[in-house]
Copies of this chain bind each other. A is one copy, B any other.
């Protein structure tokens, strides 16, 4: 496989199709056939699309994920013959844990095949341009969630956010381009049109129940927690490569597992592929290579803990197989097997709905429409608010550690300088000396308060920001969910029309209606889950935040009151 980093510089212009892709007729899309060699024209289309030319000279767009880039050597070869599998990456053979190698025969089953490229990179590698479609998708999302963490240079921050802003405006508020991973696109249709019929074992079934006037996921029967603790800097190849490993301990077995960011990332992709109707909580933002700043690592740990907490509290996510595998697997062989199995999973996207068991009652479309419209409006507004809180936290941290601290220190210095001047005129008067001391202590107190401002964000603004980083991700996932649902409803209406025109059997239509209802039930359950979850969560978050703020200002009061005692009454 091509070396990711070196390929960035010597960009090849040839790709090989890994899968068939049927371009939408009368659009700029172009159909490609697995094995076909294409010449790249433009990789800057965005949203995971590339432009290329086939051997017939036809040009068009196709998902970047459906092709793999050829090395210059391969490009030369493929001019006459189909590409041989790329040689293994130099360091992969010796990789001991987590870097599972697929046999050549496996390659047909690799949905995120190009993902293997990134597998050995450190979590803070941001070579986005080389990664697959779902990662491309994630990229957009990451950028949207990008918050400048301490130690991150401002210039990089603004560069990223600019990119974000432009990405963002094209996706939120309007209809997002739906995912084009083959699974979700194909499976959606196949589930909805009832061409997919798989027997799901009872153990894997997911129930939606009615609770008063709400529909809910069947609540968690065995609640558990997972702690993400003490990130450790580990290394391999005698220290040539080093990385951070996070120690996860689930409460249900108390067995610690070690996971790197890339494992989280892989998990996150699987979850995003599988749960189209459930917004997946975000991971911490990807970072520039080589940053192992203590504070940064701790904030990533906190954000991973937020991710893990959200997963544990979700009735569906908390018990899904890939997550359980991620949480519990300690054996390398089983890890590989589980990984392969997760990547072979067929019940992705809407197809996953085949596992969902809903109440018998058919849903009233007008009611569903009303709820989804309200949800759409709410999510749009929430998206803005959540971002505004996140930004506010970033700004406040900067203010506390910058001007607020500096101002306090200037106040302190002015008093200290006054005390120093007064001490120049210290004679025998004991009282003057006491005043000078008191003023000096006042100066020191303000300098200390400056330090307190510097130290404070980690107790209030940062945790609040981390929490809202999570909400930004979850809220940011809802438009996709809403759109997936909307498309299903449109498809349903199309089927109703077809049936009215006598082009579709009533029996099939009924199955379509039933399955659309399953999708609607799932959406309603998820909307509800988000509501009750955030109610509890925000309540706790805000209180914790306010208590820290109260504590902070109390400490200032205490400091100043102590200082007051140095003066003569």
Contact = CB atoms under 8 A, between A and B. Distances in A.
B546 A564 contact: yes
A547 B381 CA distance: 44
A407 interface: yes
Interface residues of A: mostly helix, strand, loop or mixed? helix
Assembly stoichiometry (copies): 2
Nearest to A537: B435
A337 interface: no
Interface stretch (A149-157, A280-288, A424-432, A482-490): A424-432
Of A213, A420, A553, the most chain B CB neighbours within 10 A belong to A553
Given A411-B396, A420-B385, A213 B428 contact: yes
Interface stretch (A34-42, A355-363, A554-562): A554-562
A398 B97 CA distance: 58
Nearest to A417: B385
A13 to B, nearest CB: 46
Interface string A533-564: 00100110011001101100110110011011
A84 B26 CA distance: 101
Contacts of A560: 546, 549-550, 553
5 contacts: A382-B421, A385-B417, A391-B414, A435-B535, A553-B557
Of A213, A391, A429, the most chain B CB neighbours within 10 A belong to A429
A531 to B, nearest CB: 7
Interface of A: 213, 374-375, 377-378, 381-382, 384-386, 388-389, 391-392, 395-396, 399, 403-404, 407, 410-411, 413-415, 417-418, 420-422, 424-425, 427-429, 431-432, 435, 438-439, 442, 531-532, 535, 538-539, 542-543, 546-547, 549-550, 553-554, 556-557, 560-561, 563-564, 567-568
A404 B539 CA distance: 26
A381 B420 contact: yes
A464 to B, nearest CB: 10
Given A389-B414, A553-B556, 17 more contacts: A381-B424, A382-B421, A382-B422, A385-B414, A385-B420, A388-B414, A396-B411, A399-B407, A404-B404, A427-B531, A429-B532, A429-B535, A435-B539, A539-B568, A542-B567, A553-B553, A553-B560
B538 A435 contact: yes
B442 A546 contact: yes
B557 A561 contact: no
A378 B424 contact: yes
A538 B439 contact: yes
A212 B210 CA distance: 93
Nearest to A415: B389
A535 B439 contact: no
A395 B417 contact: no
A547 B569 CA distance: 12
A181 to B, nearest CB: 30
Contacts of A385: 414, 417-418, 420-421
B535 A432 contact: yes
Contacts of A546: 442, 560, 563-564, 567
Contacts of A439: 538, 542
Contacts of A388: 413-414, 417-418
A105 to B, nearest CB: 50
Given A378-B424, A550-B557, A431 B535 contact: yes
A384 B420 CA distance: 11
Contact of A389 (B389, B418, B556, B557): B418
A418 B535 contact: no
A431 B537 CA distance: 12
Given A395-B410, A439-B538, A538-B439, A531 B432 contact: yes
A386 B438 CA distance: 16
Contacts of A213: 428
A392 B185 CA distance: 64
